[in-house]
Amino acid sequence: MFPGDILIDGYNVLHAAGFAQQSYRRGEFEKRRNKLLRLISQQLSTRERLRTTIVFDATDPSVMPSAPHVREDILVIFAGEGGDADATIERLIRENSAPRRLCVVSSDHRLQKAARRRRGRFIDSDVFLQRLARRPTPEERSQQQVEPTAKHTGNLPPGEVEAWLRVFEDIDRSESPPRRGRRELKSNSADMTRPGRGHQAIPSAEDSPSADDLTSEIGFWESRVSELWDADPTADD
């Protein structure tokens, strides 16, 4: 989703996620920041987290600002001089060495214009959160990772190959048609040639005798006709 650097307007996204309040008790804003960081980090890939920077305002005395630090693989920055996060984000946009690979996450038009000036991209905070929500949850991703590799590689556990071979061997034996004997072929052929038998069903491809069986049967009838002719040469054909 984000091939380059991600620069997040923390307070703006905090409001879009419904985590912001008009005022905070001591330490409460820090808890809400951490909740937002967990939400974002769980839905970003490792590569995306390592390329993400989130900037928070630091104007409220109850915020308890601290030095930039890494949390959940994300670089967290508190606004510098004046405590204005927008000014800090604009400076980071100007200083970015590859602005075309930069994505600014904020619904603030001021920051979106700053990104556009440097040919960077931007996305509204609510759209950003919606896209994250459509991604697989951490539990779903872990289930995908532990899926047995034998399903894709065919490397079955020892003994399982032999077990499946025995199963298919039994199926093959139970479903194999019985071999047709010569006597049965002769009987069927005689029935088909006798007058008055009525319409005979056309044999299917599975019931058709082989070439060897046909040759043997033709030889039998030639021999039989020859015997009848020798016994009574005057008999009609």
Q: In this predicted model, what pLDDT tens digit does every residue of 41-68 receive, in sequence order?
A: 999 999 999 999 999 987 665 555 567 8
DSSP 63-105: G-----EEETTEEEEE--GGG-HHHHHHHHHHH-S-GGGEEEE
User: In angstroms, rounded to a whole number, what is the distance separating the alpha carbons of residues 196 and 177?
Assistant: 31
Q: Give the pTM.
A: 0.58
Helix (H, G, I), strand (E, B) or coil at 6: strand
User: In angstroms, rounded to a whole number, what is the distance separating the alpha carbons of residues 59 and 36?
Assistant: 19
Query: Contact at 8 Å (CB) between 92 and 79?
Result: no
Does the pLDDT of residue 27 top 60, yes or no?
A: yes
Q: In this predicted model, what pLDDT tens digit does every residue of 210-227 receive, in sequence order?
A: 555 556 666 666 666 666
Average pLDDT, whole number, for the chain?
75
Mind spelling out the 3-state secondary structure of 148-183? CCHHHHCCCCCCHHHHHHHHHHHHHHHHCCCCCCHH
